[in-house]
Amino acid sequence: DAGVTQSPTHLIKTRGQHVTLRCSPISGHKSVSWYQQVLGQGPQFIFQYYEKEERGRGNFPDRFSARQFPNYSSELNVNALLLGDSALYLCASSLVEGHEAFFGQGTRLTVV
Amino acid sequence: RKEVEQDPGPFNVPEGATVAFNCTYSNSASQSFFWYRQDCRKEPKLLMSVYSSGNEDGRFTAQLNRASQYISLLIRDSKLSDSATYLCVVRLARGAGNMLTFGGGTRLMVKP
């Protein structure tokens, strides 16, 4: 079975641009969450979705948005990119809320 | 004050050594506790959950002290393959789904 898959794996963007990151959860998993991991730090929670509804939002500006589709895949959108948005963006899925979270390999975003 | 604090290390130990990592969390309402392992430039993977009674999985032992808001991980008979960053993780409430709060990680390097 495929694990959590994220695309793209690497991305370079210019300041001010916007980016869309994609995540496909493990088959059957209904909960998807997004994390940002800056180099040298632990991951920070951005959003969680369950059954297409936003269930939680971390301390990130409104430039960050996300959604979950009927097939439970998810997109994370970041507008007006800043240099400080350079990070590894991780997607995690779980069967239902509160169950073990499995992480994808991440998308490494570099903003120049 | 960070919600979850860990000594960043690195801990440099010889093969066969016993090493212990500690972690403190600030929110007394935290309900679930975990240790994740993250290899360089890879995604975090669940190592073990941490229960109040303490739990063991092979060479790994985790302890939780709710009164002191303190979590520990003990690794016995260290292997070269144990070299990684160990992330202390807390979930605030049972209804908090995958809103996990990560510590900054403790880096372990096991030397021959």
Q: What is the pLDDT of residues A27-42, one digit of tens each?
A: 999 999 999 999 999 9
Question: DSSP per residue over B10-38, as a string?
Answer: -EEEETT--EEEEEEES-TT--EEEEEEE
Q: What is the pLDDT of residues B10-69, one digit of tens each?
A: 999 999 999 999 999 999 888 889 999 999 989 999 999 998 888 999 999 999 999 999
Q: How many CA atoms lie within 13 A of A21 on its CB side?
A: 31
Q: What is the pLDDT of residues A59-106, one digit of tens each?
A: 999 999 999 999 999 999 999 999 999 999 999 998 877 778 899 999
Residue B53's pLDDT is 86
Beta bridge partners of A108: A10, A88
Residue B96's pLDDT is 56
Share of chain B above pLDDT 70, in %: 95
Question: Which is nearest to B37 in space by CA: B81, B84, B72, B78?
Answer: B84
Q: Are A75 and A22 in contact (CB under 8 A)?
A: yes
Task: Please indicate if any CB of chain A lies within 8 Å of the CB of B96.
Answer: yes
Chain B residue nearest residue A105, CA to CA: B43
Q: How confident is the model at residue B95 (pLDDT cuts 50, 70, 90)?
A: low
Q: How confident is the model at residue A1 (pLDDT cuts 50, 70, 90)?
A: low
Q: Are the Cβ atoms of B91 and A98 closer than 8 angstroms?
A: yes
Q: How confident is the model at residue B97 (pLDDT cuts 50, 70, 90)?
A: low
What three-state secondary structure class fits A2? Answer: coil
Tokens, residue A81? 């990119």
Q: Are the Cβ atoms of A98 and B95 closer than 8 angstroms?
A: yes
Q: Which of A33, A40, A42 sits opposite B98 (nearest CB)?
A: A33
Residue A2's pLDDT is 78
Q: Is the peptide bond before B10 cis (omega within 30 degrees of 0)?
A: yes
Residue A18's pLDDT is 98
Q: What angle do CA B20, B24, B29 make, to 5 degrees?
A: 135
